[in-house]
Amino acid sequence: MSHPRTPAPHQAAALSRRSLLSYAGGAGALAALAACGGGSQGSSGSDGDLTWFMWSGSTQEVDAWKHVAQMVTTADSSTKVTFQTASWNDYWTKLTSQAASGASADVLSMQSLRAPQFAELFVPLDDKLESLGIASDTFESSIFDGLKVDGKLLALPYDFGPFVIFYNKTAFQEAGLALPAEGWTKDDFTAAARKLTTGGKYGFFANNTIDGALPFVLSDYDVAAVDDSGKLDVDNDAWRSTLQWYADLITKEKVAAPLPSGNTSSAATNQFQAGNAAMTLDGPWSLINAKATAKFEVGIAPVPTGMKGSKTWTAGSGFGVSTSAKDPDRAAKAVAVLTGVDAEKYLGQQGRAFPARVSEQQSWYDGNDLGDAKTVMDYSIQNSVPYKTTANWTQVNDTYSRYAVTAFNGDSTVDDLIQRVQAQGEK
């Protein structure tokens, strides 16, 4: 520095030892907090202690999961489940870093789309089903199969759902349009989107995820993103023409909003709930929140009928036993309780899950005043396939999300998008 100036000592003394000492006192109190809060990862405790790692987004969610964890102790008083959590996005990063640091929980949660990627972290449950007294047909078959990788069952499902159309019932009625229902076609969909695009609002909000395009590909071509041998296969005419149609909704027809950014897969949900787009695609897991947030009436409808009918995909999540579980049998019993009748009934009523147990699904409709959704849900589930993915799905989906924005907004082409995603699949 060219002008070093030292303050006079009396000025400087203003930040006195007294104030430094009071800071130190505060730090001491905080250190006490640290002692009881941090480092809770340790596996100390009695033999019946299990840890369970699950994503969550709010205190209410955490409370619901802790309630279910308590059911394990109620069923077997020698077992106690400690709940650990992370946000949905961070969960997947941490699952691996925990495994690497030897600090995996005993019970892990898994979403069907990511099952191939994390299969090695789970103990297959197939030969435990009998001793647990679980018949496979008590669960919805599509999600029971969705949690299998290479024929091995990694987790027991607790929820699932088909991807469906969410629509703004109020906007449809005000525009004098017939409400979307079973049997409506892709032309009906486009016509409605045109009519509802007015005054800065859009008829449709396209997702920049594979999830949002897949139902249309299925309905028109009966083709998925992953072929029967488990390989990614999107470099074909079915995907090309569907994605082109999808992009045209934004760039040519201008009935769907431009995509706002590469990282907000949630933009569709936000914009729909704010009333800025009259239709979007989403799963039943968003329905309760959408009804609570939106200032209009929210309806759901099956995917519009294409050349091969109205088809969609289902996905869901479940709980499984970690390969590093100290007591795998005890962990498996806990999983059985966490996905048991009581837990499923509770989660359904609370609106936390559309139950994977067929017998408990009614609790979701009853507990949340969603009776009118039942026909659509039943129809969509019947006409659905499990969403199959690859072992590097995070990379594939990440590439798709970022390049879909450029392709759908007209900065690049659908061909470019497809080639980049397919190249990711070859790795």
Partner 1 sequence: MAVAAAPVVPPGTKRRGTKEEVRRGDGKVALGFLTPGALGFLAFTLFPVIASLVMSFFDWPVLGTPTFTGFGNYVELFTTDDTFRTAIVNTLLFVVLYVPVNIVVSMGLAVWISPRIKGRRYYRVLFFIPAVTPMVGNAVVFTLLLTPNGLVDSAMKSWFGVGAPNFLGSSAWAMPAVVLLSVWQGFGYNLLVFSAALDAVPQHLVEAAEIDGAGAFRRFFNVVLPLLSPSIFFATVLTLISSFQVFTQSYVLTGGGPGNSTTTLVMYLYQSGFQFFRLGFASAIAWVLFVFIMIITAVQFIGQKRWVHYDQ
Partner 2 sequence: MTSDTRAPSPTLVRRPAAPVGPHGRHRLRRTVSQVLLTLVGLGFAMPLVWMVASSLKSGGEVFSTPPKLLGDQLLFSNYTQAADYLPFGRFMLNTLLVAVAGTLITLVTSAMSAYAFARLRFRFREAVFLLYLGTLMVPQEVVVVPMFLIMKNLGWVNTFQALILPWAFTAFGTFLLRQFFLTIPTELEEAAKIDGAGHWRILTRVIAPIAAPAFAVLAVFTFITYWNSFLWPLIITNDTSTTTVPLGLNLFLGQNGQEWQLLMAAATISMAPTVLLVLVLQKYLVRGIALSGLGGR
Which spans of this chain sit near partner 1 (rule: CB under 8 A)?
A: 1-8, 93, 96-97, 99-100, 120, 200, 257-264, 276, 394-395, 398, 401-403, 405-406, 409, 411-412
Answer for the pair 420, 398: CB distance below 8 angstroms, yes or no. Answer: no
Q: Which residues contact 17 (CB under 8 A, 6 or more apart)?
A: none
Answer for the pair 157, 146: CB distance below 8 angstroms, yes or no. Answer: yes
- Kindly write out the interface string for residues 15-54 of this chain, putting x where it contacts partner 2 by CB under 8 A and - elsewhere: x-------xx-xx--xx-xx--xxxxx-------------
Collapsing DSSP to helix, strand or coil, 177 comes out as: coil
10 Å CB burial of residue 222 (0-12, 13-18, 19+) is middle
Q: Which residues contact 378 (CB under 8 A, 6 or more apart)?
A: none
**Rounded CA separation 318/336 (Å):** 11
- If the CB atoms of residues 234 and 279 are measured against partner 2, the closer one turns out to be 279
Q: Select the binding partner of residue 409 from partner 1, partner 2, none (C-beta < 5 to 8 A, by kind).
A: partner 1
Collapsing DSSP to helix, strand or coil, 174 comes out as: helix
Residue ranges in 325-354 that form contacts with partner 2 under rule CB under 8 A: none
Collapsing DSSP to helix, strand or coil, 249 comes out as: helix
* DSSP 8-state symbol, 349: H
Answer for the pair 294, 302: CB distance below 8 angstroms, yes or no. Answer: no
Q: Select the binding partner of residue 405 from partner 2, partner 1, none (C-beta < 5 to 8 A, by kind).
A: partner 1
**Cα 193 versus chain centre, distance:** 26
Which residue in the set 71, 294, 385, 391 belongs to the binding site for partner 2 (CB under 8 A)? 294
Q: Select the binding partner of residue 176 from partner 1, partner 2, none (C-beta < 5 to 8 A, by kind).
A: none
CB of 210 vs partner 2, minimal distance in Å: 17
- If the CB atoms of residues 267 and 301 are measured against partner 1, the closer one turns out to be 267
Which residue in the set 127, 137, 200, 229 belongs to the binding site for partner 2 (CB under 8 A)? 200
User: Any idea what the Cα angle at residue 54 is, between residues 313 and 116, rounded to 5°?
Assistant: 45
Q: Site for partner 2 (CB under 8 A): how many residues?
A: 64
Can you tell me which residue has the tokens 């569709």?
268
* DSSP 8-state symbol, 179: P
**Rounded CA separation 375/394 (Å):** 33
Helix and strand element counts for the chain (H, E): 19, 13
User: What are the tokens at 30?
Assistant: 């905080």
Using rule CB under 8 A, residue 261 touches partner 2: no
Answer for the pair 313, 218: CB distance below 8 angstroms, yes or no. Answer: yes
CB of 3 vs partner 2, minimal distance in Å: 7
CB of 296 vs partner 2, minimal distance in Å: 9
Q: Select the binding partner of residue 22 from partner 2, partner 1, none (C-beta < 5 to 8 A, by kind).
A: none
Which residue in the set 45, 47, 57, 410 belongs to the binding site for partner 2 (CB under 8 A)? 57
Q: Which contiguous run of DSSP H or E holds residue 193?
A: helix 186-196
CB of 276 vs partner 1, minimal distance in Å: 7
Which residue in the set 117, 271, 339, 380 belongs to the binding site for partner 2 (CB under 8 A)? 271
Which among 137-145, 285-293, 389-397, 406-414 is the span making contact with partner 2, rule CB under 8 A?
285-293
- If the CB atoms of residues 274 and 341 are measured against partner 2, the closer one turns out to be 274
Q: State which amino acid sits at residue 132.
A: L
CB of 402 vs partner 2, minimal distance in Å: 17
Which among 69-77, 93-101, 131-139, 203-211 is the span making contact with partner 2, rule CB under 8 A?
93-101
Q: Which residues contact 268 (CB under 8 A, 6 or more apart)?
A: 205, 206, 207, 212, 277, 280, 281, 282
Which residue in the set 60, 74, 261, 359 belongs to the binding site for partner 2 (CB under 8 A)? 60
User: Beta strand pairing status for 277-282 and 202-204?
Assistant: parallel
CB of 89 vs partner 1, minimal distance in Å: 10
Using rule CB under 8 A, residue 201 touches partner 2: yes
Using rule CB under 8 A, residue 58 touches partner 2: yes
Q: Select the binding partner of residue 403 from partner 2, partner 1, none (C-beta < 5 to 8 A, by kind).
A: partner 1
**Which residues would be at the binding site for partner 2 (CB under 8 A)?**
1, 3-7, 9, 12-15, 23-24, 26-27, 30-31, 33-34, 37-41, 55-62, 84-90, 93-94, 97-98, 100-103, 200-201, 266, 269-271, 273-276, 285-286, 289, 292-295
